[in-house]
Amino acid sequence: MEANQISPDDIRRERLRRERDYYLSEEGYLDFIRDSGACPDAQKEPHGRYAQDIIHWNGEPDPENKEQIIYKYKMVLWPRGSFKTQGFDIGYVAWLIARNPDIRILVTSETDNLSSDIVEKVKDIIDSEWYRERFGVHRGKKWKTGEFTSGLLSKERSAKKEPTLKAGSVGTVETGMHWDVVVMDDVCSQKNTQTPEAIEVTQTITKQQTHQLQFQRWFFD
């Protein structure tokens, strides 16, 4: 196409395409969480520098099934006030869905209200004009409080019952579900760790939730 045939719309589409490719790269993760509104105050130190601890998992092929990847368990401990929830729950989940609309993610916390709040903030980003322009329109028929199913699912993924994103809690375990990623944010509290019995219940339920992982990929916040 000759230069004089390039329209402003063509230039805009190309700009959005390049931005999309950059934001979906590991290099662009920090700018993604800032520009999407998930974590506007994220800084190169520590968020950008240590983002690799969260987003790069060094998976290895399953010896019994070479098509599947086994990821090591990982716990990242950062102090309060370091934007963990904004940068690595809300931002990370929105980034994963942009990269792969077929993904299945469970966000769990001490209560349904806490995890639902995270899910709703992710949905606000995904349904924003900024996100839709670059990563498509994910809002479809299954869009309700505490969960949603992307409108961009592949035909094969549409046959599976799990939503794209769902909120859960220490008090609830749905049988028969399979997740690609489980995010655990503040699953432990004074209330559910006051006695040995309460600790055992909390451990049992969180183990059940991680056992629903399809590829053993999860992290605490």
pLDDT at 41 over 80: yes
Task: Please provide the distance, in angstroms rounded to a whole number, between the alpha carbons at the two ends of the chain.
Answer: 50
pLDDT, position 162: 93
Report percent pLDDT > 90 for the chain.
43
pTM higher than 0.85 for the full model?
Answer: no
Q: What is the mean pLDDT of the chain?
A: 81
Q: How confident is the model at residue 146 (pLDDT cuts 50, 70, 90)?
A: very high
Structural tokens at position 22: 């950059």
DSSP state of 4: G
The answer to whether 39 and 91 have CB atoms below 8 angstroms apart is yes
Which numeric CATH code is attached to 3-220?
3.40.50
Banded pLDDT at 114 (limits 50, 70, 90) = confident
Query: What does the domain layout of the chain look like in residue ranges?
Result: 3-220
86-101 tens-digit pLDDT:
888 899 999 999 999 9
**Is a pLDDT exceeding 90 seen at residue 185?**
no
Residue 14 pLDDT greater than 70, yes or no: yes
Cα–Cα dist 190/209, whole Å:
21
Q: 187 or 184, which is more confident?
A: 184
Taking alpha carbons only, the member of 115, 111, 120, 162 closest to residue 145 is 120
Cβ distance 182 to 109 under 8 Å? no
What contacts 77, CB < 8 A, 6 or more positions away? none
Provide the pLDDT confidence category of residue 221 given band limits of 50, 70 and 90: very low
- Overall average pLDDT of the 190-218 stretch: 54
In sequence order, the 6+-apart residues with CB closer than 8 A to the CB of 108 are 115, 167, 168, 169, 170, 182, 183, 184, 185, 187, 206, 209
At 156, the pLDDT band (50, 70, 90 cuts) reads very high
* Residues 162-182: tens digit of each pLDDT: 999 999 877 665 667 888 888
- What is the DSSP pairing of strand 105-109 with strand 165-169? parallel
